[in-house]
C-alpha cells in the first residue's frame, strides 16, 4: 500500500469529510484510521501503527518533538495574552484608539494586508501576530473574521516564499544550493537564483494583487460575501454557534482603567523577543554571523515559545499593576483569565495535533512520492513542465497539508528533469513548484498554516477554508494561464504581461457583478 495509489485515500477521506460534515477532528480522525489500516496491511500491527503515528508529532525516535511542542505552547500562550489584554481593558482601549485613526473598513483591511507583508520573517509568526494586532481594528470596522483570515493567510506564505530574509527563504536557498551544487551549475548563486525566481511565481503575483484589490474595494464573492454582508448589516463577525479559536467565553468585568499599552506592549515585546531569539538560535546553530546562515538554522518554534512566554508574563504583570486602582481587579480573575485563555485555544491545538498526526501517516504512506512519480512519468514538452509542476505541486500540498514537504519532494525532481532536457527552464520549473505548493497549502483543510491563520483571525477553521477556497482557485487559474503562456513563448515578461491582462479582465468583471451595496 505504501507508495501506491492507495496512499492518496486517507487525505481524500479527511478532506472530503471536512468539507461535507464541517467536523474537523472527526474527519481527521477517519483519515488517520484509514491510513493506519493501510499501513497495517503491510504486515504491521494496527494498534502499534496507530499509537506510534498519533504520538509521532510529540514523541518521535525516542525523543520529544520540541518543535511541535513549542508551537502548541505558543498558541496556548497567545490565548493567555488575548485573555489578559481583554481583562485589563487593553483590547477595548486599543480598538477605541485605532478607530480614531483607522476610520473605514478599507483602512482596517489595508492595515491587515500591510502588517502581513511587514511580518515576512515566518508564516507561523505572521499568522498569529498579525491576527492579534489587526483583529480589534477589523472587528470595530465590521470586517468579518473570514475575510480577516483570508488576508492573513494570503499574505503570510506568499510573502515568506519570495523573501530571502525569512525561515522559508533560508530553507529554499539551502535547497537550491544542494540542487545547483549537485548539477555543477555556476551561472548563478543559490541566493541570486532565489531572487530571480520570485517574479516567476505567478501564484504569488496573482494572490498579492487580488489581496490588495479586495482590501481596496467592497467587492466580495462566494461564501465570503455572505460573511461580509452579515458582519456589515448585523455586526455578527462570525457564527457564534461554531468553535472560534481565540474567542473568549468568559465575560470579564468592564472598567475604564485599560490603556493602549496593555495590548501594545505585550505584542511588541512578543515580536521583539521572538525576532531576537531567532537571531540568537540561528547564530548559535550556524556558528556564523551571515544573515542567510542564521535564518537557515534559526529555531522558529523555540523563538515563538520564548517570545510568547515573555509576552504573556508582561500581559499578566500589566493587569496585576491595575489592582491598586481598579476595583474590579483581583487574583481570582487572574486564575480565571489563565483558564479562559487556555480553553480558548484548546480547539486549535487539538486540530493541529490531529493534522500533524495525519501528515505523519501520509508521510509513511509516501503519498507525496507517489504523486511525484506521476510527474516523472509525464511525457510532455519541457516548456509545458512548469505548468505540469504547478498542478502537481498543488495536488501534493493539498493532499499532504504541507508546502515544505512538496518543496522537498518536487524541487529535486524538477531540477533533474530540466537539467536533462532544457536547463534554461530550470528556474521557471522550480518556481512553478513553489507556486503550486503554496496554492495547495492555501486550499488544504489539513494544512497547519491554514489552521493557524484561522486561529490568528479568530475564525472557525472550516469557515476559513470554504471562504478562501474560491479566492485561491481564482488566483491559481490566473497563474496557470501564465504558465501556459510561458509554455508557448518561454518568456517570463510576456507571461507576466498576459497574466496582468487577464487579471484586469477578471477584476473588471468582479467589480461589476460582485460589488456589495455598502460603503467602505
| DSSP track, 487-500 | HHH--HHHHHHHHH
**Mean pLDDT computed over 491-496:** 94
User: What's the confidence (pLDDT) of residue 186?
Assistant: 58
The predicted structure's pLDDT at residue 288: 79
Are 35 and 365 within 8 A, CB to CB? yes
pLDDT band of 516, cuts 50, 70, 90: low
Question: 429 with 385: CB under 8 angstroms?
Answer: yes
Give the SS3 label for residue 515.
strand
Q: How confident is the model at residue 185 (pLDDT cuts 50, 70, 90)?
A: low
| This prediction's pTM | 0.82
Q: Strand, helix or coil at 63?
A: strand
Q: Mean pLDDT, the chain, as a whole number?
A: 86
Q: Is the dihedral of CA 468, 397, 117, 459 positive or negative?
A: positive
* Closest among 464, 472, 417 to 445, alpha carbons compared: 464
| Structure confidence by residue, pLDDT tens digits, 402-445 | 787 788 778 888 887 888 778 888 899 999 999 999 999 999 88
Query: Residue 184: is its pLDDT beyond 70?
Result: no
Distances (CA, A) of 15 to 26, 29, 239, 419: 11, 11, 22, 35
pLDDT at 126: 80
Q: In the predicted model, what is the mean pLDDT of residues 101-121?
A: 86
Q: Cα dihedral angle (329, 335, 341, 346), rounded to 10 degrees?
A: -160
CA-to-CA dists, residue 196 to 135, 227, 427, angstroms: 35, 39, 8
CA-based torsion, 39, 441, 194, 289: positive or negative? negative
DSSP string, 330-374: -HHHHHHHHHHHHHHHHHHHHHHHHHHHHHHHHHHHTHHHHHHHH
Residue 256 pLDDT level (bands cut at 50, 70, 90): confident
**Cell matching residue 174:** 539551502
Question: What integer is the mean pLDDT of 344-370?
Answer: 82
Higher pLDDT, 498 or 6: 498
CB 70 within 8 A of CB 302: yes
Residue 286 near residue 296, CB atoms below 8 Å: yes
In the chain, % of residues over pLDDT 70: 96
C-alpha distances in angstroms, 344 versus 7, 23, 177, 341, 450? 35, 18, 42, 5, 18
Distance CA(118)–CA(457), nearest Å, equals 17
Residue with the three cell numbers 504569488: 204
d(CA 263, CA 488): 53
Contact by Cβ (8 Å): 180, 190: yes
Lowest mean pLDDT among 75-84, 91-100, 146-155, 436-445: 91-100
Looking at the predicted structure, is the pLDDT value of residue 204 above 90?
yes
Q: How far from chain centre, in Å, is Cα 253?
A: 34
Provide the pLDDT for residue 412. 81
Angle at CA of residue 344, ends 338 and 346, nearest 5°: 100
Task: Quote the CA–CA distance of 111 and 389 in Å, as a whole number.
Answer: 34
What are the tens digits of pLDDT across the range 66-87?
Answer: 888 888 898 889 889 888 988 9
Amino acid at each position: 500500500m505504501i507508495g501506491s495509489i492507495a496512499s492518496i485515500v486517507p487525505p481524500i477521506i479527511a478532506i472530503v469529510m471536512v468539507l461535507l460534515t464541517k467536523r474537523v477532528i472527526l474527519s481527521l480522525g477517519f483519515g488517520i484510521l484509514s491510513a493506519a489500516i493501510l499501513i497495517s496491511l503491510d504486515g504491521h500491527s494496527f494498534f502499534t501503527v496507530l499509537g506510534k503515528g498519533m504520538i509521532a508529532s510529540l514523541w518521535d525516535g525516542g525523543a520529544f518533538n520540541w518543535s511541535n511542542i513549542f508551537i502548541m505552547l505558543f498558541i496556548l500562550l497567545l490565548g493567555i495574552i488575548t485573555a489578559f489584554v481583554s481583562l485589563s481593558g487593553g483590547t477595548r482601549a486599543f480598538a477605541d484608539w485605532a478607530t480614531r485613526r483607522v476610520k473605514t473598513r478599507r483602512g482596517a483591511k489595508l492595515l491587515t494586508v500591510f502588517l502581513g507583508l511587514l511580518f515576512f520573517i515566518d508564516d507561523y509568526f505572521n499568522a498569529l501576530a498579525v491576527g492579534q494586532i489587526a483583529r480589534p481594528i477589523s472587528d470595530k470596522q465590521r470586517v468579518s473574521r473570514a475575510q480577516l483570515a483570508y488576508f492573513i493567510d494570503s499574505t503570510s506564505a506568499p510573502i515568506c516564499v519570495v523573501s530571502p530574509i525569512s525561515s522559508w527563504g533560508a530553507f529554499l536557498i539551502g535547497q537550491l544550493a544542494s540542487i545547483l551544487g549537485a548539477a555543477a551549475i555556476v551561472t548563478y548563486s543559490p541566493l541570486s537564483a532565489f531572487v530571480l525566481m520570485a517574479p516567476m511565481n505567478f501564484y504569488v503575483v496573482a494572490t498579492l494583487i487580488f489581496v490588495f484589490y479586495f482590501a481596496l474595494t467592497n467587492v466580495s464573492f462566494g461564501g465570503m460575501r455572505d460573511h461580509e454582508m452579515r458582519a456589515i448589516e448585523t455586526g455578527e463577525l462570525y457564527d457564534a454557534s461554531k468553535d472560534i479559536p481565540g474567542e473568549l467565553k468568559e465575560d470579564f468585568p468592564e472598567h475604564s482603567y485599560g490603556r493602549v499599552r496593555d495590548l501594545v506592549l505585550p505584542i511588541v515585546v512578543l515580536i521583539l523577543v521572538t525576532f531576537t531569539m531567532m537571531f540568537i538560535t540561528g547564530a548559535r546553530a550556524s556558528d556564523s554571523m551571515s544573515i542567510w546562515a542564521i535564518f537557515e538554522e534559526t529555531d522558529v518554534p523555540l523563538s515563538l515559545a520564548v517570545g510568547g512566554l515573555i509576552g504573556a508574563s508582561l500581559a499578566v504583570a500589566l493587569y496585576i499593576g491595575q489592582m491598586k486602582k481598579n476595583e474590579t481587579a483581583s487574583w481570582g480573575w487572574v486564575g480565571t483569565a489563565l483558564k479562559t485563555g487556555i480553553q480558548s485555544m484548546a480547539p486549535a491545538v487539538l486540530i493541529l495535533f490531529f493534522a500533524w498526526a495525519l501528515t505523519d501517516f501520509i508521510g509513511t504512506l509516501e503519498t507525496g512520492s507517489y504523486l511525484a512519480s506521476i510527474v516523472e512519468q509525464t511525457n510532455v514538452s519541457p516548456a509545458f513542465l512548469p505548468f505540469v509542476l504547478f498542478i502537481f505541486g498543488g495536488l501534493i500540498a493539498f493532499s499532504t497539508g504541507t508546502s515544505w514537504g512538496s518543496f522537498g519532494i518536487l524541487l529535486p525532481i524538477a531540477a533533474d528533469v530540466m537539467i536533462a532536457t532544457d536547463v534554461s527552464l530550470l528556474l521557471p520549473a522550480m518556481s512553478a513548484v513553489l507556486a503550486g505548493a503554496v496554492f495547495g497549502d492555501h486550499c488544504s483543510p489539513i494544512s497547519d498554516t491554514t489552521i493557524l491563520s484561522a486561529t490568528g483571525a479568530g475564525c472557525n477553521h472550516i469557515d476559513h477554508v470554504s471562504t478562501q477556497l474560491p479566492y485561491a482557485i481564482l488566483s491559481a487559474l490566473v497563474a496557470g494561464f501564465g504558465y501556459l503562456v510561458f509554455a508557448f513563448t518561454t518568456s517570463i515578461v510576456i507571461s507576466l504581461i498576459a497574466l496582468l491582462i487577464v487579471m484586469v479582465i477578471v477584476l473588471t468583471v468582479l467589480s461589476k457583478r460582485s460589488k456589495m451595496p455598502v460603503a467602505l
